[in-house]
Structure 1
Amino acid sequence: MDSPLKDQVAIVTGGARGIGRGIALALAQAGADVLVADLLEDPLAATAEDVRALGRRAAICKVDVTQAVQLEGMVRQAISELGGLDILVNCAGVISIQSVSELTERDWDFVMDVNAKGTFLSCKAALPHLLAQQRGRIINVASIAGKEGFPNLSHYSASKFAVVGFTNALAKEVARAGITVNAICPGIVRTYMWDRLSDEWKNAGESVEESWQRHQLTLIPQGRAQTPEDMGRLAVFFATMDNVTGQSVNVDGGFTFH
């Protein structure tokens, strides 16, 4: 079995389910030990068990990515329990669906705090270690909504545009330190978030499942949704490439072109 990440240590925030889980398992399959971080305790433990089933070590950390002190503790835990930190994946994210006229300041702040500020704080917590060892990989999970706005998702789009810009800027800051920084921009993936969107955007008389199928067929040129495993394969690519940095790559079946 090819193990390009053998004995490397990864942290995946938002790793309990969905895209984060897919990335955690892909990194483990490529040979990495994984600290799975999330607020959701039951799926957190289950994902860690799945990592161990692949023959890799796993640790779990309940963490709120809006709290700097918790993220600093998360990094210390990865170093103490798994022996280091080589790969940081920031996948923790939230979404809500409101028009700008309905959007409250609290709603705006919550989405921005988790998606944008959380990415910043997590990177800031990991950077002292990565800079000291003069190598590392940072992979941020943005969205195609970080390159193109969508109605009733202005705050979500703003947060993901911020992640794309932050990724590019940080990549340039640390480029001479052996650290790469890239972003994955998922398209339509069947996760909790997209179940909510399918429900919100269903036509009269349409079920959530029918709405989901319609969105796949009408929005994606390939006619099929993307998967957490797709995102995991791109994460492994970013984790193994020395000279790819500052990029935000869409995995969306041709939905967008930039």
Structure 2
Amino acid sequence: MRMQDKVALISGGARGMGASHARTIVAEGGKVVIGDILDDAGASLARELGADKAVYTRLDVTSFADWQNAVDLSVTTFGKLNVLVNNAGIVNMGSLNDYSTKDWDDIIAVNQTGPFLGIKAATPTLISSAPSSIINISSTAGFQGIAELHGYTASKFALRGLTKSVALELAQHGVRSNSVHPGTVSTPMNADLDVADFNPMKRMGNVEEVSQLIIYLASNESSFVTGAEFVIDGGELAGTGPLSSK
């Protein structure tokens, strides 16, 4: 079991990729604290996984107090916390003329400040529970600009940078930090997108494919991996296709 003796806190864990990560961690022998603002879905998932393996807590990632409560719950319920998955995120968009400062502030608060608060709250426990792993879910938008996704792109670039500064500070304490950069993955957030025109594999990824990468980074298999970026995108960032001949 690849996640034996691992306890993970997952933000945005009630559905989509976060729920898949929770299920896969438990299937591999680990335990999970599911953090989300979707109370019904989160509590239902915890019941599905079993009270001895999963617990749900309300987690607004913009609230440091919520983060502290989630970390404390992990320790009181399972005795430790040695995996943090910063998975929660939102998307908004608009042209420069239409994109408001509130739009900007909202997405930065969740996608950029949220992971920082989680890392800050969890670090003492991650150190005491080491070897530990921080996994920040960024995006292919952390490598390239996307028109009219100004806040989203900025936040995902920032998360990539935060991953590296944290990795450098915490390596001496047995805590690793890496970022994961999914391309378009089939989740409730983007179920209506058509990727056939820009993905070399002509499909979306599925959440289970991303979860297998999470298991690798959370487990001791990746014990010498920190400060790194892992792209899982079906080739979206590899380059352009053949040019049409006239």
TM range (shorter): over 0.9
Structure with a larger share of its residues in helix? 1
SS in 1 for 2:197: helix
The one-letter amino acid paired with 1:242 is: S
Partner of 1:113: 109
Aligned to 2:163: 167
The offset of 1:190, in angstroms, is: 1.7
Aligned mates of 2:30, 2:9 — CA distance in 1: 10
Q: Which amino acid aligns with 2:145?
A: G
TM-score, structure 1 normalization: 0.88
Aligned-partner Cα distance in 2 for 1:226–1:51: 24
Stretches of structure 2 that go unaligned for 5 or more consecutive residues are 240-246
For the residues of structure 1 that align with 2:44 and 2:235, how far apart are their CA atoms? 33
Whether 1:136 aligns to 2:117 is no
Query: Which residue number corresponds to residue 202 of structure 1?
Result: none
Q: How does 1:74-223 map to 2 (within 5 A)?
A: 74-195=70-191, 198=192, 212=193, 215-223=194-202
- 1:248 and 2:193 are equivalent in the alignment: no
**1:64 Cα offset (Å):** 0.6
Partners of 1:31 and 1:56 within 8 A in 2: no
Q: How many equivalent residue pairs? A: 237
Report what 1:21 is aligned to. 19
- 1:76-116 per-position Cα deviation (integer Å, ceiling 9, x unaligned): 01100122101110101111121122111111000000000
* Alpha-carbon distance between aligned partners in 2 of 1:133 and 1:5, rounded to the nearest angstrom: 14
**3-state DSSP of counterpart to 1:92:** coil
Q: 1:239 aligns with which of 215, 218, 240?
A: 218
CA contact (8 A) 1:32 1:56 kept: no
Residue 193 of structure 1 aligns to a residue whose secondary structure is coil
Shift of 1:46: 2.2
**Aligned partners of 1:132 and 1:249: how far apart in 2?**
26
**How far has the Cα of 1:42 moved from its partner?**
1.4
- Structure 1 contact 59–82 (Cα < 8 Å) conserved: no
Identity within the alignment, %: 34
- Which segment is superposed worse, 104-113 or 55-64? 55-64
Q: Normalising by structure 2, what TM-score?
A: 0.92
Give the partner amino acid of 1:230.
Answer: E
Q: Distance in 2 between matches of 1:116 and 1:257?
A: 26
Matches within 5 A, 1:40-59: 40-52=38-50, 57-59=53-55
Aligned structure 1 segments of 4 or more residues deviating by more than 4 angstroms: none
Question: What is the rounded CA distance, in whole Å, between the counterparts of 2:52 and 2:152 in structure 1?
Answer: 34
- 1:4-39 C-alpha deviation (Å, 9 max, x unpaired): 211321111100011111111111111111110000
Q: C-alpha root-mean-square deviation of aligned residues, in Å?
A: 1.5
Mapping of residues 52-67 of structure 1, within 5 Å = 52=50, 57-67=53-63
